[in-house]
Amino acid sequence: MQIKRRNFFKLAAVGAGSVVISPRPTRAERKKAGDSFACLVDTSRCIGCRKCEQACNEINNLPEPARRFDDLTVFDSARRPDARRFTVVNRYHSGRIDDAGLLVADYVKIQCMHCLDPSCASACVTGALSKHDNGAVHYDVSKCIGCRYCMMACPFEIPAYEYHNPLTPRVMKCNFCEEQFTRQHKAPACATICPTEAITFGKRTTLLQLAKKRLAKYPARYEQHIYGEHEAGGTAWLYLARVPFKKLGFLTLPSNPLPRLSELIQHSLFSYLWSPALLFALLGGIMYRNRAKNDSGEGHKQSGGVS
């Protein structure tokens, strides 16, 4: 059998059809589910005590850190969340000074932003990462094949990989303490322990209103921007700051969700496995044709020999 141009287009059309009937909820549908949980991190309230790091370590049974949680000299260098810690607090000197003219530090807690339209989940070919309606971007280790596409896709460079664990490596990132609020109606461990309520836990719409109220009530205290309201299509973790976000290590990101294009291409390619099926059909066709050719060629040679 030879694959003709017409047949190729027929197959492609079947593939495209399956994309249209794909059961994955569209972005609009996901937005409508809307009132999911979120956290508002008001960096102007953060005192850099690192209790959130400690609480996160304890609730997730993460390994003991090299330096104790009350060691504040860790602030001397910038840190990133990694396979051993889901959240870190960093110190920044933006040039802000207090009444006495002394430099004042700003502290910023970072962790997975739990994007509304997560790039990591779009990049994940097996669906090991998925956005839950409650707001959390969930990682399912049983589906993960360790390709680490998520690490490359995440605009915030959050997912980390357990390179030190050769047998059962996992992708590691903040899980939003999802079980805390789904099972026990409690706030995430970091929000609960924070002494100053620098982390407020609640529904995203409520927190956005709250953030806007704070911006309006204390205009001199805050940069008039809510980081995460629109960045990367919106995130569940929102931030307020005293100084421009750029000075606190925040990336300037476009407001359209980054994964739309990659997701469209990838999910069109992989849904119902039509593209590998097509590829193998194509390869099979070529093999079949070549064999048919060779057969007839040999016959020709043989007949030539005889004559």
Partner 1 sequence: MRQIHLQILMLMVLTCTYTTWVYAATTGEQWVAPAQEKALRRAQAVVPMVKEVKQEGAIRRSQRLHALGVSVRDVKDSYFVLNSPFIKAVEDHYGAVRFNHGQHAAESGDCTICHHLRAKTATPAKNGDKPLETQRCSACHQQAFNPDYPERLGLKAAFHQRCIPCHEQRHKGPQTCRGCHLNNVPDHKKLVKLPDNADALQVTAECLRCHETAANDLQHSAHWLWRGPSTHTQDHENSVRHGKGTTALNNY
Note the residues at the interface with ligand SF4 (CB under 6 A): 46-52, 55-56, 59-60, 86-87, 89, 107, 109, 111-115, 118-120, 137, 154, 156, 158-159, 173-177, 188-190, 193-196, 198-199
Site string for partner 1, 17-46 (x = CB under 8 A): ----------------------------x-
Query: Beta strand pairing status for 106-110 and 88-92?
Result: antiparallel
CA neighbor of 120 nearest in space, from 240, 233, 204: 233
Contact flag: residue 200 with partner 1 (CB under 8 A) = yes
Contact flag: residue 182 with partner 1 (CB under 8 A) = no
Pick what 206 binds: ligand SF4, partner 1, none; C-beta below 5 to 8 Å, kind-dependent.
Answer: partner 1
DSSP state string for 21-60: T--SPPHHHHHHH---EEEEEETTT-----HHHHHHHHHT
Whether the Cβ atoms of residue 209 and residue 67 lie closer than 8 Å to each other: no
Pick what 56 binds: ligand SF4, partner 1, none; C-beta below 5 to 8 Å, kind-dependent.
Answer: ligand SF4
Q: Which of residues 214-233 bind partner 1 (CB under 8 A)?
A: 214
CB of 93 to partner 1, least distance (A): 17
How many other C-beta atoms can be found within 10 angstroms of the C-beta atom of residue 164? 9
Q: Which of residues 74-133 bind partner 1 (CB under 8 A)?
A: 99
Q: Which of 138, 170, 186, 230 binds partner 1 (CB under 8 A)?
A: 186
CB-nearer residue toward ligand SF4: 40 or 113: 113
Print burial letters for 197-207: b (CB count within 10 Å at least 16), e (below 16).
ebbbbbebeeb
Q: Helical H runs in the chain?
A: 5-20, 27-33, 51-59, 119-123, 149-153, 178-183, 189-193, 204-217, 260-270, 274-306
* CA of residue 273 relative to chain centroid, distance: 24
CB of 185 to partner 1, least distance (A): 10
| CA terminus-to-terminus distance, the chain | 31
Pick what 187 binds: ligand SF4, partner 1, none; C-beta below 5 to 8 Å, kind-dependent.
Answer: partner 1
Phi, psi (deg, nearest 5) at residue 195: -70, -25
Contact flag: residue 208 with partner 1 (CB under 8 A) = no
Q: Which of 3, 46, 51, 257 binds partner 1 (CB under 8 A)?
A: 51
Amino acid at residue number 230:
H
CB-nearer residue toward partner 1: 174 or 207: 207
CA distance 53 to 236: 19
Sign for the pseudo-dihedral over CA of 39, 154, 109, 182:
positive
Q: Which of 14, 47, 152, 251 binds partner 1 (CB under 8 A)?
A: 47
Pick what 210 binds: partner 1, ligand SF4, none; C-beta below 5 to 8 Å, kind-dependent.
Answer: partner 1
CB-nearer residue toward partner 1: 89 or 207: 207
* 77 Cβ contact list (under 8 Å, min separation 6): none
Q: Which of 4, 80, 213, 291 binds partner 1 (CB under 8 A)?
A: 213
Amino acid at residue number 95:
G
Residues forming the site for partner 1 (CB under 8 A): 45, 47, 49, 51, 70, 99, 186-187, 191-197, 200-203, 206-207, 209-210, 213-214
